[in-house]
Structure 1
Amino acid sequence: MPTDLPSDWSRWRGEVDLDSYDERWRRMAEAGQDPHGEAALVMAYAPASVLDGGCGTGRVGIELARRGVHVVGVDPDPDMIAAARAKAPGLRWEQTGLESLALDERFDVVVLAGNVVPYAAPSVRAELVAACARHLTPG
Protein backbone atom coordinates (compact mmCIF):
# COMPACT_ATOMS: atom_id res chain seq x y z
CA MET A 1 0.00 0.00 0.00
CA PRO A 2 1.42 3.44 -0.87
CA THR A 3 2.54 5.44 2.12
CA ASP A 4 1.41 8.87 0.95
CA LEU A 5 -2.35 8.34 0.91
CA PRO A 6 -4.78 10.36 3.00
CA SER A 7 -6.10 8.85 6.20
CA ASP A 8 -9.65 8.69 4.81
CA TRP A 9 -8.42 6.35 2.04
CA SER A 10 -6.68 4.11 4.54
CA ARG A 11 -9.78 4.07 6.71
CA TRP A 12 -12.04 3.25 3.72
CA ARG A 13 -9.73 0.44 2.54
CA GLY A 14 -9.59 -0.95 6.06
CA GLU A 15 -13.38 -1.17 6.18
CA VAL A 16 -14.13 -2.38 2.65
CA ASP A 17 -13.96 -5.96 1.46
CA LEU A 18 -13.16 -5.85 -2.26
CA ASP A 19 -15.50 -8.74 -3.06
CA SER A 20 -18.37 -6.84 -1.43
CA TYR A 21 -17.31 -3.69 -3.25
CA ASP A 22 -17.54 -5.43 -6.63
CA GLU A 23 -20.78 -7.12 -5.62
CA ARG A 24 -22.39 -3.68 -5.31
CA TRP A 25 -22.03 -3.07 -9.04
CA ARG A 26 -23.39 -6.51 -9.92
CA ARG A 27 -26.47 -5.89 -7.76
CA MET A 28 -27.05 -2.56 -9.48
CA ALA A 29 -27.02 -4.25 -12.89
CA GLU A 30 -29.38 -6.99 -11.70
CA ALA A 31 -31.78 -4.30 -10.43
CA GLY A 32 -31.87 -2.72 -13.89
CA GLN A 33 -29.57 0.17 -13.04
CA ASP A 34 -26.59 1.05 -15.22
CA PRO A 35 -23.35 0.71 -13.26
CA HIS A 36 -21.38 1.87 -16.31
CA GLY A 37 -22.26 5.55 -16.55
CA GLU A 38 -18.59 6.56 -16.59
CA ALA A 39 -17.90 4.22 -19.50
CA ALA A 40 -20.90 5.58 -21.41
CA LEU A 41 -19.66 9.14 -20.89
CA VAL A 42 -16.16 8.25 -22.10
CA MET A 43 -17.58 6.48 -25.17
CA ALA A 44 -19.26 9.74 -26.19
CA TYR A 45 -15.74 10.93 -27.08
CA ALA A 46 -15.17 7.86 -29.31
CA PRO A 47 -11.69 7.09 -27.95
CA ALA A 48 -9.48 4.37 -29.33
CA SER A 49 -7.45 4.30 -26.12
CA VAL A 50 -8.07 5.14 -22.46
CA LEU A 51 -5.88 5.39 -19.39
CA ASP A 52 -8.04 4.34 -16.45
CA GLY A 53 -6.33 6.22 -13.63
CA GLY A 54 -7.16 4.99 -10.17
CA CYS A 55 -8.75 1.98 -11.84
CA GLY A 56 -9.50 0.17 -8.59
CA THR A 57 -10.84 -3.31 -9.28
CA GLY A 58 -11.23 -2.53 -12.99
CA ARG A 59 -14.95 -1.84 -13.33
CA VAL A 60 -14.65 1.09 -15.76
CA GLY A 61 -11.64 -0.19 -17.69
CA ILE A 62 -13.10 -3.64 -18.19
CA GLU A 63 -16.34 -2.16 -19.50
CA LEU A 64 -14.46 0.14 -21.88
CA ALA A 65 -12.43 -2.81 -23.16
CA ARG A 66 -15.68 -4.75 -23.64
CA ARG A 67 -16.80 -1.85 -25.84
CA GLY A 68 -13.67 -2.13 -27.99
CA VAL A 69 -11.38 0.46 -26.41
CA HIS A 70 -7.70 -0.22 -25.70
CA VAL A 71 -7.37 0.30 -21.93
CA VAL A 72 -4.51 0.47 -19.46
CA GLY A 73 -5.50 0.58 -15.81
CA VAL A 74 -3.33 2.15 -13.11
CA ASP A 75 -3.81 2.07 -9.35
CA PRO A 76 -1.41 2.28 -6.39
CA ASP A 77 -3.35 -0.26 -4.31
CA PRO A 78 -1.93 -3.79 -4.79
CA ASP A 79 -5.16 -5.48 -3.71
CA MET A 80 -7.23 -3.48 -6.18
CA ILE A 81 -4.81 -4.22 -9.02
CA ALA A 82 -4.84 -7.92 -8.10
CA ALA A 83 -8.64 -7.92 -8.26
CA ALA A 84 -8.60 -6.18 -11.66
CA ARG A 85 -6.03 -8.65 -13.01
CA ALA A 86 -8.07 -11.59 -11.75
CA LYS A 87 -11.19 -10.33 -13.54
CA ALA A 88 -9.47 -9.33 -16.79
CA PRO A 89 -6.01 -10.91 -17.08
CA GLY A 90 -5.78 -9.96 -20.75
CA LEU A 91 -5.74 -6.24 -19.98
CA ARG A 92 -2.73 -4.24 -18.84
CA TRP A 93 -2.85 -3.29 -15.15
CA GLU A 94 -0.05 -1.23 -13.60
CA GLN A 95 0.44 -0.85 -9.86
CA THR A 96 1.72 2.68 -9.42
CA GLY A 97 0.58 6.05 -8.24
CA LEU A 98 -0.52 8.37 -11.02
CA GLU A 99 1.84 11.08 -9.79
CA SER A 100 4.82 8.91 -10.78
CA LEU A 101 3.30 7.49 -13.96
CA ALA A 102 5.79 7.14 -16.81
CA LEU A 103 4.34 4.89 -19.51
CA ASP A 104 5.71 4.87 -23.05
CA GLU A 105 2.15 5.14 -24.33
CA ARG A 106 -0.28 8.02 -24.91
CA PHE A 107 -4.07 7.88 -24.68
CA ASP A 108 -7.06 9.63 -26.23
CA VAL A 109 -8.74 9.94 -22.82
CA VAL A 110 -7.66 9.74 -19.20
CA VAL A 111 -10.46 8.62 -16.86
CA LEU A 112 -10.32 9.46 -13.15
CA ALA A 113 -13.63 7.93 -12.08
CA GLY A 114 -14.88 8.25 -8.54
CA ASN A 115 -12.69 9.75 -5.85
CA VAL A 116 -9.27 9.44 -7.50
CA VAL A 117 -8.08 13.01 -6.95
CA PRO A 118 -9.55 13.49 -3.45
CA TYR A 119 -8.02 10.19 -2.32
CA ALA A 120 -4.59 11.28 -3.54
CA ALA A 121 -2.52 12.99 -0.89
CA PRO A 122 -2.70 16.77 -1.27
CA SER A 123 1.08 16.87 -1.67
CA VAL A 124 0.94 14.88 -4.95
CA ARG A 125 -2.27 16.14 -6.57
CA ALA A 126 -0.58 18.63 -8.90
CA GLU A 127 1.94 15.98 -9.99
CA LEU A 128 -0.92 13.50 -10.51
CA VAL A 129 -2.77 15.86 -12.85
CA ALA A 130 0.43 16.77 -14.71
CA ALA A 131 1.34 13.11 -15.22
CA CYS A 132 -2.14 12.39 -16.57
CA ALA A 133 -1.83 15.33 -18.98
CA ARG A 134 1.55 14.04 -20.21
CA HIS A 135 -0.11 10.75 -21.11
CA LEU A 136 -2.69 12.31 -23.42
CA THR A 137 -2.27 12.25 -27.18
CA PRO A 138 -1.86 15.74 -28.64
CA GLY A 139 -5.16 17.43 -29.43
Structure 2
Amino acid sequence: MPENPWLSVTGGTAGPGYAARFDELAAEGADLHGEARRVHELLAGEPSDVLDAGCGTGRVGIHLAELGHRVVGVDLDASMLDEARRRAPGIEWHLRDLATLDLGRRYDLVVGAGNIWPLLTPGTHARVLARLAAHLRPGGLLVLGFGLDDEHLPFEQADHDPVPDLVAYDTAAVGAGLTLLTRTADWEGVEPFAGGGYAVSVHTRRSCTP
Protein backbone atom coordinates (compact mmCIF):
# COMPACT_ATOMS: atom_id res chain seq x y z
CA MET A 1 0.00 0.00 0.00
CA PRO A 2 1.47 3.43 -0.92
CA GLU A 3 2.25 5.78 1.93
CA ASN A 4 -0.11 8.59 2.74
CA PRO A 5 1.50 11.91 1.68
CA TRP A 6 0.42 13.84 4.78
CA LEU A 7 1.67 11.22 7.23
CA SER A 8 4.90 10.71 5.28
CA VAL A 9 5.71 14.44 5.42
CA THR A 10 4.58 15.14 9.00
CA GLY A 11 5.21 11.80 10.69
CA GLY A 12 1.77 12.08 12.24
CA THR A 13 2.96 14.66 14.78
CA ALA A 14 1.79 17.93 13.21
CA GLY A 15 -1.22 18.57 15.44
CA PRO A 16 0.22 20.94 18.06
CA GLY A 17 2.16 23.04 15.56
CA TYR A 18 -0.74 23.19 13.15
CA ALA A 19 -3.13 24.32 15.88
CA ALA A 20 -0.65 26.92 17.14
CA ARG A 21 -0.24 28.38 13.66
CA PHE A 22 -3.98 28.98 13.32
CA ASP A 23 -4.14 30.39 16.85
CA GLU A 24 -1.52 32.93 15.80
CA LEU A 25 -3.48 33.81 12.67
CA ALA A 26 -6.64 34.26 14.74
CA ALA A 27 -4.77 36.52 17.17
CA GLU A 28 -3.64 38.63 14.23
CA GLY A 29 -7.26 39.06 13.15
CA ALA A 30 -7.29 36.63 10.24
CA ASP A 31 -10.66 35.32 9.09
CA LEU A 32 -10.52 31.55 9.63
CA HIS A 33 -14.17 30.71 9.08
CA GLY A 34 -14.85 31.22 5.38
CA GLU A 35 -15.33 27.51 4.75
CA ALA A 36 -17.77 27.13 7.63
CA ARG A 37 -19.75 30.17 6.50
CA ARG A 38 -20.10 28.71 3.00
CA VAL A 39 -21.34 25.41 4.40
CA HIS A 40 -23.78 27.25 6.66
CA GLU A 41 -25.11 29.19 3.66
CA LEU A 42 -25.46 26.05 1.54
CA LEU A 43 -27.56 24.59 4.34
CA ALA A 44 -29.68 27.77 4.39
CA GLY A 45 -28.72 28.30 8.00
CA GLU A 46 -30.81 25.30 9.09
CA PRO A 47 -29.29 23.09 11.83
CA SER A 48 -28.07 20.03 9.93
CA ASP A 49 -25.98 16.87 10.21
CA VAL A 50 -22.50 17.62 8.87
CA LEU A 51 -19.52 15.31 8.40
CA ASP A 52 -16.17 17.11 8.44
CA ALA A 53 -13.93 14.82 6.36
CA GLY A 54 -10.23 15.35 6.99
CA CYS A 55 -11.19 17.57 9.92
CA GLY A 56 -7.65 18.12 11.20
CA THR A 57 -7.63 20.13 14.42
CA GLY A 58 -11.34 20.91 14.05
CA ARG A 59 -11.17 24.50 12.86
CA VAL A 60 -14.10 24.16 10.45
CA GLY A 61 -16.15 21.61 12.36
CA ILE A 62 -15.98 23.48 15.65
CA HIS A 63 -17.27 26.69 14.07
CA LEU A 64 -20.05 24.78 12.33
CA ALA A 65 -21.08 23.37 15.71
CA GLU A 66 -21.08 26.92 17.10
CA LEU A 67 -23.44 27.84 14.25
CA GLY A 68 -25.85 25.13 15.44
CA HIS A 69 -24.99 22.15 13.27
CA ARG A 70 -24.55 18.58 14.49
CA VAL A 71 -20.96 17.83 13.50
CA VAL A 72 -18.89 14.65 13.32
CA GLY A 73 -15.22 14.87 12.37
CA VAL A 74 -12.89 12.23 10.92
CA ASP A 75 -9.17 12.34 10.22
CA LEU A 76 -6.23 10.01 9.62
CA ASP A 77 -3.82 11.90 11.90
CA ALA A 78 -4.19 11.15 15.61
CA SER A 79 -2.15 14.21 16.61
CA MET A 80 -4.58 16.49 14.79
CA LEU A 81 -7.56 14.80 16.40
CA ASP A 82 -5.98 15.20 19.84
CA GLU A 83 -6.09 18.96 19.28
CA ALA A 84 -9.68 18.82 18.05
CA ARG A 85 -10.76 16.82 21.11
CA ARG A 86 -8.96 19.22 23.43
CA ARG A 87 -10.72 22.21 21.89
CA ALA A 88 -14.18 20.66 21.53
CA PRO A 89 -14.61 17.50 23.62
CA GLY A 90 -18.37 17.53 23.02
CA ILE A 91 -18.00 16.82 19.29
CA GLU A 92 -17.52 13.29 17.93
CA TRP A 93 -14.00 12.93 16.51
CA HIS A 94 -13.04 9.66 14.82
CA LEU A 95 -9.66 8.34 13.72
CA ARG A 96 -10.52 6.86 10.31
CA ASP A 97 -9.12 6.29 6.84
CA LEU A 98 -11.55 7.91 4.41
CA ALA A 99 -10.97 5.10 1.90
CA THR A 100 -12.67 2.63 4.23
CA LEU A 101 -14.97 5.02 6.08
CA ASP A 102 -18.19 3.54 7.43
CA LEU A 103 -19.82 5.44 10.28
CA GLY A 104 -23.17 3.73 9.81
CA ARG A 105 -25.12 6.95 9.29
CA ARG A 106 -25.86 9.59 6.69
CA TYR A 107 -25.46 13.34 6.67
CA ASP A 108 -26.99 16.38 5.04
CA LEU A 109 -23.57 17.63 3.98
CA VAL A 110 -20.01 16.35 3.86
CA VAL A 111 -17.28 18.99 3.77
CA GLY A 112 -13.61 18.54 2.94
CA ALA A 113 -11.94 21.89 3.56
CA GLY A 114 -8.37 20.83 4.29
CA ASN A 115 -6.95 20.07 0.86
CA ILE A 116 -7.86 16.42 1.41
CA TRP A 117 -7.97 15.44 -2.30
CA PRO A 118 -4.21 15.97 -2.93
CA LEU A 119 -3.38 14.48 0.48
CA LEU A 120 -5.18 11.17 -0.08
CA THR A 121 -3.14 7.99 -0.30
CA PRO A 122 -2.30 7.37 -3.97
CA GLY A 123 -4.76 5.01 -5.63
CA THR A 124 -7.60 5.69 -3.16
CA HIS A 125 -9.12 8.85 -4.63
CA ALA A 126 -12.13 7.31 -6.36
CA ARG A 127 -12.73 5.01 -3.39
CA VAL A 128 -12.75 7.98 -1.00
CA LEU A 129 -15.33 9.87 -3.07
CA ALA A 130 -17.50 6.75 -3.13
CA ARG A 131 -17.28 6.43 0.66
CA LEU A 132 -18.08 10.10 1.21
CA ALA A 133 -21.04 9.89 -1.17
CA ALA A 134 -22.28 6.82 0.70
CA HIS A 135 -22.51 8.93 3.85
CA LEU A 136 -24.85 11.46 2.19
CA ARG A 137 -28.61 11.40 2.33
CA PRO A 138 -30.30 11.61 -1.09
CA GLY A 139 -30.05 15.24 -2.10
CA GLY A 140 -27.22 15.80 0.36
CA LEU A 141 -24.21 17.93 -0.57
CA LEU A 142 -20.51 17.14 -0.90
CA VAL A 143 -18.32 20.26 -0.73
CA LEU A 144 -14.59 19.90 -1.38
CA GLY A 145 -12.00 22.61 -1.89
CA PHE A 146 -8.45 21.77 -2.90
CA GLY A 147 -5.36 22.95 -4.74
CA LEU A 148 -4.48 21.96 -8.28
CA ASP A 149 -0.95 23.33 -8.68
CA ASP A 150 2.23 23.77 -6.66
CA GLU A 151 1.19 27.23 -5.51
CA HIS A 152 -1.93 25.83 -3.85
CA LEU A 153 -0.81 22.33 -2.88
CA PRO A 154 0.52 21.56 0.62
CA PHE A 155 3.74 20.07 -0.82
CA GLU A 156 5.90 20.16 -3.92
CA GLN A 157 4.05 17.89 -6.35
CA ALA A 158 7.33 16.78 -7.91
CA ASP A 159 8.25 15.08 -4.63
CA HIS A 160 5.11 12.92 -4.60
CA ASP A 161 2.87 10.92 -6.90
CA PRO A 162 0.89 13.20 -9.25
CA VAL A 163 -2.41 14.37 -7.79
CA PRO A 164 -5.42 13.34 -9.92
CA ASP A 165 -6.75 16.41 -11.71
CA LEU A 166 -10.27 17.86 -11.85
CA VAL A 167 -11.22 15.55 -14.71
CA ALA A 168 -10.35 12.57 -12.53
CA TYR A 169 -12.24 14.16 -9.64
CA ASP A 170 -15.36 14.67 -11.73
CA THR A 171 -15.13 11.17 -13.18
CA ALA A 172 -14.90 9.70 -9.68
CA ALA A 173 -17.81 11.88 -8.56
CA VAL A 174 -20.04 10.62 -11.37
CA GLY A 175 -19.08 7.05 -10.50
CA ALA A 176 -20.07 7.74 -6.89
CA GLY A 177 -23.54 8.92 -7.89
CA LEU A 178 -22.83 12.64 -7.53
CA THR A 179 -23.93 15.53 -9.73
CA LEU A 180 -21.98 18.79 -9.93
CA LEU A 181 -24.03 21.82 -8.88
CA THR A 182 -21.43 24.57 -8.88
CA ARG A 183 -17.68 25.17 -8.92
CA THR A 184 -15.93 28.35 -7.84
CA ALA A 185 -12.36 29.47 -7.25
CA ASP A 186 -13.06 30.52 -3.67
CA TRP A 187 -14.95 29.48 -0.55
CA GLU A 188 -17.15 32.55 -0.75
CA GLY A 189 -18.82 31.00 -3.78
CA VAL A 190 -18.34 34.23 -5.72
CA GLU A 191 -15.39 33.90 -8.10
CA PRO A 192 -16.18 31.56 -11.00
CA PHE A 193 -13.66 28.79 -11.54
CA ALA A 194 -11.79 29.49 -14.77
CA GLY A 195 -9.07 26.88 -14.72
CA GLY A 196 -6.94 28.31 -11.91
CA GLY A 197 -5.00 26.61 -9.17
CA TYR A 198 -7.79 26.17 -6.62
CA ALA A 199 -11.35 24.90 -6.93
CA VAL A 200 -14.30 24.51 -4.58
CA SER A 201 -16.82 22.01 -5.93
CA VAL A 202 -20.36 21.41 -4.70
CA HIS A 203 -21.94 18.10 -5.69
CA THR A 204 -25.27 16.58 -4.74
CA ARG A 205 -26.03 12.90 -4.21
CA ARG A 206 -28.57 11.55 -6.64
CA SER A 207 -31.53 9.64 -5.28
CA CYS A 208 -30.46 6.51 -7.14
CA THR A 209 -26.75 5.72 -7.29
CA PRO A 210 -25.11 3.29 -9.73
TM superposition score normalised by structure 1: 0.88
4+ residue runs over 6 A deviation = none
SS state at 1:109 partner? strand
Corresponding residue for 2:114? 114
- Aligned-pair identity (%): 44
Please list the CA deviations of residues 20-67 of structure 1 after superposition, one character each: whole Å capped at 9, or x if unmatched.
311222222222221111101111112511100001111111111011
Matched residue count: 136
Corresponding residue for 1:42? 39
Specify the code of the residue in structure 2 equivalent to 1:129.
Answer: L
Q: How does 1:1-139 map to 2 (within 5 A)?
A: 4-6=3-5, 9-14=6-11, 17-46=14-43, 48-139=48-139
TM superposition score normalised by structure 2: 0.60
Which of the pair is proportionally richer in strand?
Answer: 2
Bigger mean CA offset, 21-30 vs 39-48:
21-30
Unaligned 5+ segments in structure 2 are 140-210
SS state at 2:35 partner? helix
RMSD: 2.0
Bigger mean CA offset, 91-100 vs 16-25:
16-25
Q: Which has the higher contact order (CA 8 A, sep 6+)?
A: 1
Distance 1:36 1:123 in 2: 31
Q: 1:67 to 1:89 in 2, by over 3 A?
A: same
Measure how far apart 1:16 and its partner are: 6.6
Please list the CA deviations of residues 63-84 of structure 1 after superposition, one character each: whole Å capped at 9, or x if unmatched.
1101110000001111112221
